[in-house]
Amino acid sequence: MSDKAAIKVFIADDHAIVREGLKQILADTRDIVVSGEAENGSDALRLFRKSGCHVVLLDISMPDRSGIEVLKQIKKEKPELAVLMLSMHREDQYAIRSLKAGAAGYLTKQSAPKELVTAIRQVAGGLKYISPALAQELANHVGEDHEAAPHETLSDREYQTLTLIASGLTVGAIAKELSLSVKTVSEYRARLLVKMKLKNSAELTHYAIRNGLID
């Protein structure tokens, strides 16, 4: 198949090893080619426009801005473009947030290469992709009267801050991880404590563990 007819994929991930691994997997397929790559959110937004891609593989944890923020901007500019989110986090932690923000699918980085290729082909064809496990989880909740859990009311950045605090990171370490100021992260922490009606980081951690928000 010629490159012109192939599915063009743009890869946005801050880890060079991950990008190389993804490119190696896709190099073994005849109908998929990599048309560009980026190592942070700002570069992703600047370069995906020039790549002529049909699918964006987007890491949910970018160093300068969250993958969901990048996703929302991409969908604002090109609503028809398929964005497949990649994450180290379990599906039940970020998949629903990603799909609500406009993602065409969600894959963990532990997924088998065959599943990645299948997902790319599926979203390139205009369909959504979710794993069988996530499909079952969604089916289990169909028809239920669902009152939003406290963590479901958080913004994407607040939720990310919650999971990082619960993982044992200090405010300073989180600021470095997210390329934000300590003051900004402290504000996120203060807001999520108010929204969730919790008192401190210990209670946040206990809540996250109890609700399966961290591994």
Asked if 80 and 53 count as a contact pair (C-beta separation under 8 A), the reply is no
Q: pLDDT tens digits, the chain, 215 residues: what are they?
A: 556 679 999 999 999 999 999 999 999 899 999 999 999 999 999 999 889 999 999 998 887 788 888 999 999 999 999 999 998 876 666 788 888 889 999 988 888 899 999 999 999 999 999 887 777 766 665 555 556 678 878 888 888 899 889 889 999 998 888 888 999 999 999 998 998 888 899 998 998 888 877 76
Q: What is the CATH number of the domain that holds 119?
A: 3.40.50.2300
Q: What is the CATH number of the domain that holds 176?
A: 1.10.10.10
Structure tokens at 104: 């065409």
pTM for the model stands at 0.72
- Transcribe 96-141 into DSSP letters: HHHHHTT-SEEEETTS-HHHHHHHHHHHHTT--B--HHHHHHHHHH
Give 147's DSSP letter.
P
Structure tokens at 90: 């379990």
Tell me which residue range forms the domain holding 176: 150-211
Evaluate whether residue 145 is within a structural domain. no
Give 148's DSSP letter.
P
Cα separation, 53 vs 49, whole angstroms: 8
